[in-house]
């Protein structure tokens, strides 16, 4: 039986393993990917200051995770964060990362984590950033299927780009 619960500090090692398994690989673009790892100190700060960080686990360990937080916690540490801070003045929940272990993908686990977030963040705008260059087609399909709308594009200084997706109460009906 799957259990969704708040992330704890001792989940870091299992989450790190999932992130490594689904990190960007040029030959596996169709499955979706994460562009970055999360350092332990950032992980600790995030889970200690947010009520929107979850894991989905079973007896044998963590299968999936979701890291999200209030936009008030976003720091201008990179092009993406600077763009978000300068572009949006409203309050919203920012999805930092979601990951599902490869052997459990396409089983609805990511959707279960998002449904938990939607329930806990009821009435709040939710935004997520996904890679446009390189294009993360799996992420786009997933987010559009959950009533997110593509609302913008961020061109980064390194030549890459990212799409911004948004889900509101209005577009979730």
Question: What does the domain layout of the chain look like in residue ranges?
Answer: 3-172
Mean pLDDT of 78-107: 91
Q: Which two tokens stand for residue 162?
A: 């990212």
Residue range 136-164, pLDDT digits in tens = 888 999 999 999 999 999 998 888 899 99
CB 52 within 8 A of CB 69: yes
pTM score of the predicted model: 0.88
Return d(Cα 133, Cα 57) in angstroms, integer: 32
pLDDT at 25: 54
Mean pLDDT of 101-124: 94
Q: Which two tokens stand for residue 82?
A: 């600077």
What class is the 3-172 domain?
A: alpha beta
Buried (b) or exposed (e) across 76-103, using 16+ Cβ within 10 A? eeebbbebbeeebeeebbbbbbbbbbee
Q: Is 44 helix (H, G, I), strand (E, B) or coil?
A: helix
Return d(Cα 96, Cα 28) in angstroms, integer: 21
- DSSP designation for 144: H
Phi, psi of 45 (to 5 degrees): -60, -45
Mean pLDDT of 40-62: 89
Measured from the Cβ of residue 20, the count of other Cβ atoms closer than 10 Å reads: 11
């Amino acid at each position: 039986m799957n259990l969704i619960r708040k992330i704890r500090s001792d989940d870091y090692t299992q989450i790190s393993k999932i992130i490594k398994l689904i990190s960007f690989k040029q030959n596996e673009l169709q499955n979706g990917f994460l562009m970055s790892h999360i350092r332990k100190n950032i992980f600790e700060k995030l889970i200690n200051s947010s009520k929107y960080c979850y894991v989905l686990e079973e007896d044998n360990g963590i299968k999936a995770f979701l890291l999200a937080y209030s936009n008030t916690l976003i720091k201008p540490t990179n092009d993406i964060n600077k763009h978000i801070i300068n572009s949006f003045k409203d309050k919203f929940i920012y999805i930092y990362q979601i990951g599902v272990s490869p052997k459990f993908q396409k089983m609805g686990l990511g959707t279960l984590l998002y449904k938990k977030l939607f329930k806990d963040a009821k009435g709040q705008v939710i935004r997520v950033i996904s890679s446009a260059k390189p294009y993360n087609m799996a992420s786009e399909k997933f987010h559009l299927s959950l009533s997110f709308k593509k609302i913008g594009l961020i061109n980064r200084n390194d030549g890459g780009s990212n799409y911004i997706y948004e889900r509101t109460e209005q577009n979730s009906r």
